[in-house]
Chain A
Amino acid sequence: MAAKLEVAANHQSYTRSIPGIRTEGLRVSYAGQAVLKGITLEAHQGEILSIIGPAGAGKTTYLRCLNRMLDMDPDWKISGSVLLHDQPVYAREIPVATLRRKVGMVFSVPITLPMSIYENLTFGMTMTRNGRNDRAAKIERALRQAYLWDEVKDRMQEPAGNLSGGQQQRLCLARALTLEPAVLLLDEPCSGLDPISTRRIEEALQQLKDSLTIVLVTNNVKQAARASDRTAFFLFGELIEVQDTEILFTTPGKKETADYISGRFG
């Protein structure tokens, strides 16, 4: 008992290590091909962890393991563990829909559902009974967090497709935030966006990170350097290194990392 308390106390003293989402020895293969080769990595609460690496490194696959988006296709085989707040997310007792409400996701292209802006925002909330309470307040909060409130507050009944690409992606962000998730996964969220929209999203993430754990997969090395607290570098399904962003970009520990961030390959 005493030992346990001590561990807890140690845990608290190191503020960065409030558990967020963690993988231990995560191995993933698709139709027999290894995609991730044993990834042990943690994103803490209150930080933005970015994942960089060339195409085919397994960044998106890693992200999709965290909210079990790979479950749909039986060709994916997953071993190792994924822990959300120290609870295994692949445990049978956690319904996958409940998990996905806690672990929100924004995709690489803005996918608004073919409905009104309002219906897009309420979509997640209407999936559960309690989710339907004080919708208006949750919507306003999420839209403000995504820096979109002023632009859409008078256009709620318009089709979401009427918005610009950047606005649609912020709507997707707000839509994920309406569920008040503990973790937010972003899969190259700015890949198709102009610099101003990109900056808006990055600003929003900076405001959000205090209350959530954010994992940001990006093909844009500069974005990782700008927007994240720590950066993980993936290569061919392996985690080469993970460091505080400043350290990784100034004094990378591995040659591959240095080569990649200086643009020598990838």
Chain B
Amino acid sequence: MHAMHTGKFSRADFTGGTLRGLTGFACVIIIAIVAVIVGNIVYHGIGNLSWEFLSEPPRKHFTEGGIFPAIFGTAALVILMTIAVIPLGVATAIYMHEYASKRSRVVHLVRLAIQNLAGVPAIVFGLFGVGFFIEFVGRGLDRGLYGGALVYGQPAILWAALTMALLTLPTVVVATEEALRAIPQGYREVAYSLGATKWQMIRKVVLPQAAGGILTGGILAVSRGSGEVAPVMFTGAAYALPDLPSRLNDQFMELGYHVYVMSTQAFDVEATKPALYSTVLVLLLLTFSLNFTAIMIRARIRRRLRNGR
């Protein structure tokens, strides 16, 4: 019996072995690609990375100095974006999960809108930002409040942040909804049974319990927002600026846009390469660490969801 099996190399064995090899190879390719990308960036970028690089403005057509204005601008952008997206996203999720009835058409519509929003290409958000925020809202403000003088009707960090907030809205809504679902229904019933009104129940039980999930959504939004270029390139990001942004209608420098500028628009693209690698490394470290934090918090919430019910 044994001899019969090993004695002949069957066709089934051959097909099975080949498929195993091919599928395994697909996995190896993915790992290799990530390793090459990250390895290449770390290898070329780490040498130039220094405190000066992080804390100084660029000089001599980006070949010297650092990227501090871009780091500052990115931070300011994501802070403004967070201020806009968290209240809007959390309010949407709370309405859908706590207020609307189960079969509400409105909720269905909102969910559809959010799914579609998540699928819209970033560049379209950028153009929308120009058309809606700058041309419509900004110009409108200028005409109404400043007698037509150019104040808000131009690219600015405010409009870039609001555009980015739209882009990251689905992330926040979905994360918040997931957190709301993780709260045992019993908690809500207990709060009601103790004479809480709906809003008291939400404020005292639901929101504190959902805080972790909302935080996760916020971090993922920041991580997404800090890496995007397309939504800000027409709405507020600048090639290079002598000063840091100090008002809402100032333009600003942004890391992702800075990478684009250095790699394609610089005076001497070859000469900026060391700084370019280091900037990409900083950008990667920033988004990786944000994502990692979000994943850790999310894992904790999922654990509680499994054990909690």
Contact = CB atoms under 8 A, between A and B. Distances in A.
Chain B interface mostly helix, strand, loop or mixed? helix
Interface stretch (A44-52, A99-107, A217-225, A242-250): A99-107
**Chain A CB within 10 Å — which of B187, B188, B195 has the most?**
B195
**Interface bracket on A:** 20 to 34
Interface string B175-204: 000000000101111111111110010001
A62 B197 CA distance: 22
A176 B193 contact: yes
A100 B101 contact: no
B209 interface: yes
Interface residues of B, number: 19
A124 B194 CA distance: 5
Contact of B195 (A72, A74, A111, A127): A127
A67 interface: yes
A67 B193 contact: yes
Contacts of B184: 111
Contact of A69 (B189, B195, B200): B189
Contacts of B205: 113
Interface of B: 101-102, 184, 186-197, 200, 204-205, 209
27 contacts: A67-B193, A69-B189, A69-B193, A74-B101, A74-B102, A75-B102, A95-B197, A97-B192, A97-B195, A98-B195, A100-B192, A101-B195, A104-B193, A107-B190, A107-B193, A109-B186, A111-B186, A111-B189, A111-B190, A113-B190, A114-B209, A123-B196, A124-B194, A124-B195, A127-B196, A176-B193, A176-B194
Given A69-B192, A172-B190, 12 more contacts: A75-B102, A97-B197, A100-B193, A100-B195, A107-B189, A111-B190, A123-B191, A123-B196, A124-B195, A128-B195, A176-B194, A179-B195
Interface of A: 67, 69, 72-75, 95, 97-98, 100-101, 104-105, 107, 109, 111, 113-114, 123-124, 127-128, 172, 175-176, 179
